[in-house]
A and B are shown apart, each in its own frame.
Chain A
Amino acid sequence: MQAGSAAPILVIGCGNAIREDDAAGLCAVEAVEALAPAGVQCLVRHQLLPELAEPISQSRAVVFVDARADRLDQPVIVEPLASDPTGAGLGHFGGGGSLLALAEALYGHAPPAWLVTIPGASFGFNTEMTDAGRAGVHEAVRRTLELLAELAAAQP
């Protein structure tokens, strides 16, 4: 099953709102939601869990926005995300790649996907992000909106 052109573009932000820069993905997607073009559906989640596979399979494209704890010397990175049919290790679920694989395996369709990651400076218990994290959110919002504009323009 292929999602039609009426299908939404999905933006999924995940992170923990009380762990400083871990909230970057959540904050970015909340801001994107207010500014996104029509046909974009935004979701924020604490963690990526398997039930997201279904809405993903029904979308035209999906963009994951998340904090990143590695490659801290690099700014916001926007990259294509491939389906990744490996397990969750000891945890409860894997990343966006796992969800794409699950959407494909269970519902027969995994849309093209992108991953926007924001470098986090600190992940302690605090409801405030660091200044670096906030700047990253700003940049991520801009880049995500650019990506969404491109995706919307490419509509068949």
Chain B
Amino acid sequence: MSQRIVIDPVTRIEGHAKISIQLDDQGQVEGARFHVTEFRGFEKFCLGRPFWEMPGITARICGICPISHILGSAKAGDAILAVKVSEQANKLRRLMNLGQYVQSHALSFFHLSAPDFLLGWDSDPASRNVFGLIKANPDLARKGIRLRQFGQEIISLLGGSKIHPAWAVPGGVRGPLTTEGIDWIKDRLPEANETAELALTLFKGMMGKFKAETQIFGNFPSLFMSLVGPDGEWEHHDGGLRFVDAAGNILADHVAAADYQTVIGEAVEPWSYLKFPYFKLMGYPAGGYRVGPLARLNCAEHMQTPRAERELQEFKSLSSGSVNNTFLYHYARLVEIIAALDAIERLVDDPDILSDMVRADAGVNNLRGVGITEAPRGTLFHDYTVNRDGLLEHVNLIVSTGQNNLAMNRTVEQIAKHYVHGEKIEEGMLNRVEAGIRCYDPCLSCSTHAIGQMPMEVSLLAANGSVLDTVARG
């Protein structure tokens, strides 16, 4: 009998990522759980508000990916208005999302993960961080930070420098880019491209060194889900949902946002406040799926620019079916930076992004609206039901970390099976569990800002549920 873990409210606020590892009667690892903070209170909180306010309100859920919430919310709003946003507005929204990909992926790679690769998993955790990286390779660290800035600046050029640019609105966006903005982006693009290529070359060059990690850090068959374009191309904002299995077979395709519940169910577990989405045709938990960069590359058949296409096909050649190794989320992230930079380059040459015909005006024409967007860390759903006046009556949000939760559990389990020996949690195991979770770049800052700094607490539980060992790392 395994013990049920109760996450007390104070712990939630302090934002410990709680991980429990369950042993069986023989003292072997039986399973693992990554406990994610709850999300439900937010959905209740919005009820009674006009849906027009939701981009501004939902942006406050999260300090890490406010843009995804703004875009998801605006798209749900489009559906309630029953409008198709203008081509110009959509291009501007896409540009903002691409800026977000660059900044978010750059933060994940250079700040959070590169220290693991470059300094080694067994190096001192006190210096296995961005500061250690700056010491070891100051040039790379600085370049990474400039790349993140480049993405951030695109967001600011569009949405203004306010904390939460509620710039995408139901019906379109508030305004276009300026010629000065375009000039700035064009000016900085070559440097961004150079840094992205440098990181990709660096990672590919080190792949040989990571054979063990590639095999152990969450290497298991699963389904993958993401948006894809009409021709099965890589998508980050439009298109329909596609599910592929571990062998690369397409199980569902071009599912429209409004129909998401025909393919996705949501299970609940007594040990977590989070919902567990699954692919309905396969039931729960077999229908658990992964989202995010790895899923998007597994679902996409091709990219839209020659450089990105080359990188995608090289990535896909790693496996005859889907690439199932969680460790390769890092690789996928770098390919996506390249794809995003190519897409940005195309958009800044498009006169549409200077157009002021960017906002459709309409009343409430549907009582329900679903908006789906690909956040950097995975697919995000905003599902609103309103009354005839547009006041919210029901809100359902599905976030990427919830969708990846089962996969994170399996990743921790796999790592634990390799590195847990006996009844003590050892340093090497802890480092690798941390790195395994980091592959998903999970964002748990959906609650308070304090969770931006997320200490980790790992517990080892005996078959009878008693705690054998607990290690916290801040």
User: Is chain B a partner of chain A in the same complex?
Assistant: yes
Shortest CB distance A32–B (Å): 16
Contact of B450 among A51, A69, A125 (CB under 8 A): A69
Are the C-beta atoms of B129 and A86 separated by less than 8 Å?
A: yes
Are the C-beta atoms of A87 and B115 separated by less than 8 Å?
A: yes
Among the 9-residue stretches A73-81, A94-102, A144-152, the one with 4 or more Cβ atoms under 8 Å from chain B is: A94-102
Give the nearest-CB partner of A49 in chain B.
B63
Among the 9-residue stretches A1-9, A17-25, A34-42, A130-138, the one with 4 or more Cβ atoms under 8 Å from chain B is: A17-25
Specify which chain B residues have a CB less than 8 angstroms from the CB of A53 in the assembled complex.
145
B454 an interface residue at 8 Å Cβ cutoff? yes
Are the C-beta atoms of A88 and B152 separated by less than 8 Å?
A: no
- Interface positions, chain B 50-66, Cβ under 8 Å from A, are 57, 60-64, 66
A48–B456 Cα distance when bound, in Å, is 19
A44–B41 Cα distance when bound, in Å, is 24
Are the C-beta atoms of A46 and B164 separated by less than 8 Å?
A: yes
What mask results when residues 103 to 122 of chain B are scored 1 for a CB within 8 Å of chain A, else 0? 00001000110010000000
Are the C-beta atoms of A50 and B449 separated by less than 8 Å?
A: no
A126–B41 Cα distance when bound, in Å, is 9
Are the C-beta atoms of A91 and B445 separated by less than 8 Å?
A: yes
Are the C-beta atoms of B148 and A50 separated by less than 8 Å?
A: yes
B10 an interface residue at 8 Å Cβ cutoff? yes
Specify which chain B residues have a CB less than 8 angstroms from the CB of A124 in the assembled complex.
41
Shortest CB distance B321–A (Å): 30
A47–B454 Cα distance when bound, in Å, is 12
A51–B15 Cα distance when bound, in Å, is 22
A111 an interface residue at 8 Å Cβ cutoff? no
Shortest CB distance A30–B (Å): 11
A104–B383 Cα distance when bound, in Å, is 44
Shortest CB distance B162–A (Å): 10
Shortest CB distance A58–B (Å): 15
B442 an interface residue at 8 Å Cβ cutoff? yes
Specify which chain B residues have a CB less than 8 angstroms from the CB of A89 in the assembled complex.
17, 434, 453-456, 473-474
Count how many chain A residues have C-beta atoms less than 8 Å from C-beta atoms of the other chain: 39
A71 an interface residue at 8 Å Cβ cutoff? no
Specify which chain B residues have a CB less than 8 angstroms from the CB of A14 in the assembled complex.
449
Are the C-beta atoms of B131 and A69 separated by less than 8 Å?
A: no
Specify which chain A residues have a CB less than 8 angstroms from the CB of B453 in the assembled complex.
88-89, 91, 93-95, 98
Specify which chain A residues have a CB less than 8 angstroms from the CB of B111 in the assembled complex.
50, 88, 92-93
Specify which chain B residues have a CB less than 8 angstroms from the CB of A16 in the assembled complex.
60, 63, 447-449
Specify which chain B residues have a CB less than 8 angstroms from the CB of A102 in the assembled complex.
130-131
A27–B474 Cα distance when bound, in Å, is 28
- Interface positions, chain A 85-124, Cβ under 8 Å from B, are 85-95, 98, 101-102, 105-106, 123-124
Specify which chain A residues have a CB less than 8 angstroms from the CB of B454 in the assembled complex.
88-91
Are the C-beta atoms of A88 and B129 separated by less than 8 Å?
A: yes
Are the C-beta atoms of A92 and B148 separated by less than 8 Å?
A: no
A70–B14 Cα distance when bound, in Å, is 9
Shortest CB distance B444–A (Å): 7
Contact of A90 among B63, B138, B142, B434 (CB under 8 A): B434
What mask results when residues 62 to 76 of chain A are scored 1 for a CB within 8 Å of chain B, else 0? 000001011000000
Specify which chain A residues have a CB less than 8 angstroms from the CB of B185 in the assembled complex.
none
Give the nearest-CB partner of B9 in chain A.
A123
Give the nearest-CB partner of B472 in chain A.
A89
**Main SS class of interface, B:** helix
Specify which chain B residues have a CB less than 8 angstroms from the CB of A91 in the assembled complex.
15, 444-445, 451-454
Are the C-beta atoms of A51 and B148 separated by less than 8 Å?
A: yes
Are the C-beta atoms of A92 and B445 separated by less than 8 Å?
A: yes
B134 an interface residue at 8 Å Cβ cutoff? yes
- Interface positions, chain B 9-62, Cβ under 8 Å from A, are 10, 13-15, 17, 41-42, 44-45, 57, 60-62
- Contact A92:B443 (CB < 8 A) given known A87-B128, A123-B13: yes
A45–B61 Cα distance when bound, in Å, is 13
Shortest CB distance B274–A (Å): 16
Shortest CB distance B441–A (Å): 8
B287 an interface residue at 8 Å Cβ cutoff? no
Specify which chain A residues have a CB less than 8 angstroms from the CB of B141 in the assembled complex.
105-106
A64–B228 Cα distance when bound, in Å, is 43
A100–B472 Cα distance when bound, in Å, is 24
B125 an interface residue at 8 Å Cβ cutoff? yes
Shortest CB distance A92–B (Å): 5
Contact of B44 among A22, A70, A125 (CB under 8 A): A125
B432 an interface residue at 8 Å Cβ cutoff? no
Shortest CB distance B474–A (Å): 6
Are the C-beta atoms of B130 and A90 separated by less than 8 Å?
A: no
B149 an interface residue at 8 Å Cβ cutoff? yes
- Contact A18:B45 (CB < 8 A) given known A89-B455, A91-B15, A95-B453: yes
Give the nearest-CB partner of B41 in chain A.
A125
B437 an interface residue at 8 Å Cβ cutoff? yes
A46–B455 Cα distance when bound, in Å, is 19
A91–B441 Cα distance when bound, in Å, is 9
Are the C-beta atoms of A92 and B66 separated by less than 8 Å?
A: no
Specify which chain A residues have a CB less than 8 angstroms from the CB of B148 in the assembled complex.
50-51
Shortest CB distance A107–B (Å): 10
In the assembled complex, 11 residue pairs joining A and B whose CB atoms fall closer than 8 Å, in A order, are A16-B449, A19-B448, A85-B127, A87-B129, A87-B130, A89-B455, A89-B473, A91-B452, A102-B130, A106-B134, A106-B145
Interface of B toward A, CB cutoff 8 Å: 10, 13-15, 17, 41-42, 44-45, 57, 60-64, 66, 107, 111-112, 115, 125-131, 134-135, 138, 141-142, 145, 148-149, 152, 163-164, 434, 437-438, 442-445, 447-456, 473-474
* Sample of 4 further A-B pairs with CB below 8 A, known A17-B60, A87-B128: A46-B62, A50-B145, A85-B131, A105-B131
The 5 closest A-B pairs by CB, nearest first: A87-B129, A91-B454, A47-B63, A46-B63, A85-B131
